[in-house]
Structure 1
Amino acid sequence: MILNFVGDVVVNDALNIELSLKLKKILKCGDYNVVNFEAPVKTANQKKVHKSGPSLSQDENAPHWLIKNGFNVISLANNHIFDYGDSGYLSTIHSFKGNNFIGAGTWDEAYSPLIIEQDGLKVAIFSMGEQQFGFFFDKKAKRQKFGCAWINYDSVNDIIINTKKNVDYIIIMVHAGLECVDVPLPEWRTRYRTLIDLGCDVVIGGHTHTVQGFEIYNNKHIMYSLGNFCFTENLENNSKWNIGEFVKLNINKEGIDVKTYGTEFLNNRIELFDDLRWNKLCLRLNNMLIEDNYDQYVREICLSHLNAYASLCSWGGYIHPSKIDAKMLFKLFLSKITPYKIKFDDVHMLNNLQCETHRWCFERGLKIKNNLI
């Protein structure tokens, strides 16, 4: 049984994007090809939900483009799939016309794995993510019929343990971590290792928009982030934005053979790296996970985020101490003497508190700054 996994996809010009012949050939050999569909298919009457961060949507041709290229398992546990509410989610499901979905839906659907039975094996695939808008945080939460599976919900560990009793292997995808950095936070490394200890056989991370390194823990693979497979938003960010990791799992009764490839999205085409270039990148990223190197990178990353967190926390994220200018001061003055009021939005604060990544990074950065760790 061959399972292929790629990273995040947001496509707004699907009809103009092609895959290289070599990449198509590898996908064609896969029994199941899994992709994270990072944003909903938006129809004319849908409205953005009130949330922190940008609201994304995808070309109505994106589902057909993925199906045409062999993708038949769609992961939806991410922080954008509910950017246009339940209607955006439902239009996305409809657009894929019955493909296999994991990680979102009703509570039971979101927290249930896809079970694949083939070649005398049973394999479970989960998809979950960090706590952001659109994710379930409580089974009894009001006004939330649909949502994504939260990786740190109380019952997740038991779900994995109980699932492993009935299957041969568990693959889990986790959408979490700091965006645009090369290493995971220590807290996520600990969580991913715990997932292995609970019974998962491969952990596949995403969300960071950059490829991160991998490690073998207790003889099982943890791929910290696959980066972007094809993400047409923010292409100008940096060269890392267009680089992704393609993971091929060849599964049999003896175990799981893992092979990785590098992919690059340039000029509306997705190509594979040559082996030398990919091996060089993997070596650099994996070296960053070595203890002494890793500790220093984490310190630098957390300290570099402190100013951004302080700005977001001040006045609900709308007034940044470092960005106060004459216009802003004039508005503040008017708000004291006229009915005019500045509207502050506390969803920014909420997101920084509820999202484990931001909370952990902020706390760790403050501790480092104050010589507590």
Structure 2
Amino acid sequence: MKVNFFGDICLEGIDWQRFEFDTALRTLMDGAVNVGNLECPITLHEVPKPLQVRNLRAPAESLALLQGFAAVSLANNHVQDYGETGCRDTLAALGQTGIGHFGLGPDQRSALTPLILERNGVRLALLGATRYANARDGLPGTASEQLSRLRRVIRRLKADGCFVVPYFHWGYEYVHVPSPRERGIAHACVDAGADLVIGAHPHVWQACETYRGRQIYYSLGNFIFHSRVFDGLSPVPNDPRLKEGLVISVQIRPNHRYEAAMHVVRLTDTSARLLDATGSAPIRAQMTALAALLAGPRLPYLRAYFRQTPAIARQNVRIRKEHQTAVAGSSADLLKVYRSFNGQDVMNRLAAAVIGRLEQ
């Protein structure tokens, strides 16, 4: 079985009738099981979830652009952008197009139900999980990253003879070095039997590593995403990293041994193009260096991670003030904003300050 894993896909603002995949990319996708993260509800519902920095959606017709995809993860922070109606509409639209999905359900048990695809003697089990938009209190949502539940499901799937791939929506945005938190979750999944771990959400590619003989790709970056969505969000103006993404091609044998190959794509608002060896060489060199960092001693890795985080933490505080607290209509709304803030911001700024003092 050949499987291609893609990063974040948002169809809002995309001219799906004119968007182009180049010949090399189409060739890579032909005949493969193609899987990505669909990061927008497919709905025409007009009542957005309040107090969001961005509310994303796209019409059902836009799914024609994904006709070559076998499945998408719905475990992400935007799946509830248009509430329960948006979730229901998304599931209905995917059902009508025949695109499989995973990571979303009416409760935690359903949300963590795997999508199983069979081909050439391989049973591929896809799981989606995230800490965002979790199913609770009767509202459909995503599967959480609760390790006890993830371990139990992974072990059961391995006992059933599946090749298990958790696809996470996690991590600190706009940084290339993955956080200690995400590494801990990934390692725990491999310890439980996961064969491969895939991640998305940071909107830039992140390092990969080999752990106990299994590959972990912490973030594949973007695949289809209109640039205007990021206006004012990245701390880097006109951030060129948002126009780079990874595609991981995995050839899986019936005995679950596999080879994984990394490809680099260059993105615009109207196209995705597979880079050749020369064009992808700079990113490959950076990936090699970061893989060595993750394989090395703990302290240099922690220094590298926390050095990159203060700028993002400050940006997140600014965004929260401009887009959320400024429009909060009551003290209850304000409480919701601060209850949902990214706790990593505080930890990352404190840790960066400590490391900075130690290095003086």
TM-score category of the 2 structures, normalised to the smaller one: 0.7 to 0.9
Counterpart residue identity of residue 121, structure 2 = G
In structure 2, the CA distance between the partners of 1:344 and 1:73, relative to structure 1 (3 Å rule), is closer
Corresponding residue number in structure 2 for 1:337: none
Corresponding residue number in structure 1 for 2:194: 200
SS of the aligned residue for 2:146 comes to coil
Residue from 328, 335, 347 that aligns with 1:346: 335
Aligned length: 337
Contact kept in structure 1, 2:6 and 2:223, CA below 8 Å: yes
Residue from 255, 263, 273 that aligns with 2:265: 263
Deviation digits for residues 323-373 of structure 1 (CA, Å, limit 9, x no counterpart): xxxxxxxxxxxxxxxxx9888622221112xxxxx3234224214425698
2:129 matches 1:122: no
Counterpart residue identity of residue 231, structure 1 = F
Corresponding residue number in structure 2 for 1:109: 110
In structure 2, the CA distance between the partners of 1:82 and 1:343, relative to structure 1 (3 Å rule), is closer
Residue from 159, 162, 181 that aligns with 1:165: 159
Structure 2 distance, partners of 1:288, 1:2, is: 26
SS of the aligned residue for 2:57 comes to coil
Deviation of residue 201 (structure 1)?
0.6
In structure 2, the CA distance between the partners of 1:263 and 1:347, relative to structure 1 (3 Å rule), is same
Corresponding residue number in structure 2 for 1:84: 82
Greater displacement, 289-298 / 174-183: 289-298
Unaligned segments of structure 2, at least 5 residues: 232-237
In structure 2, the CA distance between the partners of 1:213 and 1:75, relative to structure 1 (3 Å rule), is same
Contact kept in structure 2, 1:52 and 1:351, CA below 8 Å: no
TM-score, with structure 1 as normaliser: 0.82
Greater displacement, 108-117 / 307-316: 307-316
In structure 2, the CA distance between the partners of 1:342 and 1:267, relative to structure 1 (3 Å rule), is closer
Contact kept in structure 2, 1:309 and 1:362, CA below 8 Å: no
TM-score, with structure 2 as normaliser: 0.85
Structure 1 distance, partners of 2:10, 2:320, is: 29
Between the two proteins, what is the percent identity of the paired residues? 23
Deviation of residue 42 (structure 1)?
2.7
Counterpart residue identity of residue 113, structure 2 = S
Superposition pairs for residues 271-310 of structure 1, below 5 Å?
Answer: 271-289=273-291, 290=293, 291=296, 294-308=301-315
Counterpart residue identity of residue 94, structure 1 = A
Structure 2 distance, partners of 1:365, 1:267, is: 33
Structure 2 distance, partners of 1:77, 1:300, is: 29
Greater displacement, 94-103 / 286-295: 286-295
Deviation digits for residues 115-162 of structure 1 (CA, Å, limit 9, x no counterpart): 123322322111111x22x212xxxx4242x11111226422211122
SS of the aligned residue for 1:180 comes to coil
2:198 matches 1:191: no
SS of the aligned residue for 2:340 comes to helix
In structure 2, the CA distance between the partners of 1:61 and 1:312, relative to structure 1 (3 Å rule), is closer
Contact kept in structure 1, 2:175 and 2:309, CA below 8 Å: no
Counterpart residue identity of residue 365, structure 1 = R
Deviation digits for residues 91-119 of structure 1 (CA, Å, limit 9, x no counterpart): 22222214211111222431111112332
Corresponding residue number in structure 2 for 1:247: 248
Deviation of residue 39 (structure 1)?
0.4
Deviation of residue 183 (structure 1)?
1.2
Corresponding residue number in structure 2 for 1:217: 211
Structure 2 distance, partners of 1:313, 1:271, is: 34
Corresponding residue number in structure 2 for 1:232: 226
Deviation of residue 207 (structure 1)?
0.5
In structure 2, the CA distance between the partners of 1:192 and 1:343, relative to structure 1 (3 Å rule), is closer
Contact kept in structure 1, 2:43 and 2:59, CA below 8 Å: yes
In structure 2, the CA distance between the partners of 1:347 and 1:285, relative to structure 1 (3 Å rule), is farther
* Larger gyration radius, structure 1 or structure 2: 1
SS of the aligned residue for 1:155 comes to helix
Contact kept in structure 2, 1:103 and 1:127, CA below 8 Å: yes
In structure 2, the CA distance between the partners of 1:121 and 1:314, relative to structure 1 (3 Å rule), is closer
Corresponding residue number in structure 1 for 2:134: 135
Unaligned segments of structure 1, at least 5 residues: 320-339, 353-357
